[in-house]
Amino acid sequence: MKYESIELTNENNGHHVLFESFVRDTGFLLQDFDPGVAPATFKTAKGYGQDGVTKYSAPLDIRNPRFSASIIGNGLAEIESLKQELDFVMNPKDMLTLKVNYETHGTHPESKIIRGSPDQSVDYSTNYKTSNDFLQEFKGGLDCFNPFYTDPAESRIALTSWEGGLTFPFTPPFTLAHRGAPTISVFNDGHVKTPVLIIFTGPAVYPKVTNRTTGEFVAVRKELLEDETLYINTAYGEKSIEIEKNGVRRNGYNYIDQNSFLSFNLAVGDNILEYSNGRTDLTNAVEVRYRRRYLGI
């Protein structure tokens, strides 16, 4: 595997820096990158007289990706300017997104991202050979509290009750509205199950989305009006249910059936998602968004 570049973006102030494996003139030269590992802490129990132990769970701990690089500049003023920009990004008090661009087996470049905070301020070299008017070496790293690498962009799956139909004015040939696909197969080729963002769009009466593979479902117990949208986030530590109307969001927990699975996930491999609602004559939809999760790059 060849790491082409890594990009760090500070989510708090918007500053970002790009470290490249090849720098033609000036900039940040990536020398080494370690994507880190996701260490596990086993939760076990030992029975009386038991050989070995019984493992109950294996929660993952913080991942610590690290890098070493050099600032290349045309004089001390440029070196100091680039250092200043790097310091704006590498603030331990802020949250960063690390994007890794790489190639495998001569394929087109691929990317993964992970979020975290710098574990310290930038460690600049003080050796005169690697810290002068034209070169400044440094090291850094992140503590990533969610240890999974993910896709840079969300995947989006739409399930509709009806689609197509006439629009006015229209000219022949035209098609009548037809029933959309009530089920769809989603393949999660990530390394672990992934949470989702479910978006119910009104008008709809008691809409429901079910993962027939896992048996989990999320059902709405109220009617959604035409100008209402319900957002359900099932990610651990980020779980939320919000109802949006006229551009304003508020708490929407009272919209959800109490038997719903708020830990709704896409299992590794095939998932069959099904959409249903109490009024099949309404043109409505549910959208499922997710990012695949990876244990490594």
User: What percent of the chain has pLDDT above 90?
Assistant: 82
Query: Is the pLDDT at 173 greater than 80, yes or no?
Result: no
According to the model, what pLDDT value does residue 108 have? Answer: 77
Question: What is the phi/psi pair of residue 72, to 5°?
Answer: -115, 125
Rounded-to-integer distance, Cα 67 and Cα 33, Å: 4
CA dihedral sign, ordered 88, 64, 195, 1: positive
**14 and 61, same domain (yes or no):** yes
CA 193 vs. chain centroid, Å, equals 13
| Token duo for residue 63 | 């991942």
Query: Is the pLDDT at 275 greater than 50, yes or no?
Result: yes
CATH number for the domain harbouring residue 264:
2.60.120.880
**Helix, strand, coil in percent for the chain, rounding step 5:** 5, 45, 45
Q: Mean pLDDT throughout 74-95?
A: 97
**132 and 178, same domain (yes or no):** no
Would you place residue 72 in the very low, low, confident or very high pLDDT band (cuts 50, 70, 90)? Answer: very high
User: Can you give the residue range of the structural domain that contains 79?
Assistant: 2-147
Neighbouring-strand partners of residue 106: none
Q: Mean pLDDT throughout 246-264?
A: 95
**282 and 179, same domain (yes or no):** yes
**246 and 129, same domain (yes or no):** no
Question: What is the phi/psi pair of residue 292, to 5°?
Answer: -65, 145
**250 and 187, same domain (yes or no):** yes
Judge contact between 109 and 1, C-beta under 8 A.
no
According to the model, what pLDDT value does residue 282 have? Answer: 65
CATH number for the domain harbouring residue 132:
2.40.30.200
**286 and 226, same domain (yes or no):** yes
Instruction: Name the DSSP letter for residue 269.
Output: E
Domain-ending residue, one of 147, 180, 200: 147
**Residue 160: exposed, middle, or buried by beta-carbon count in 10 A (0-12, 13-18, 19+)?**
middle
CA 209, 211, 216 angle in degrees (round to 5)? 90
**201 and 263, same domain (yes or no):** yes
Judge contact between 113 and 148, C-beta under 8 A.
no
Query: Is the pLDDT at 203 greater than 70, yes or no?
Result: yes
pLDDT averaged over every residue in the chain? 91
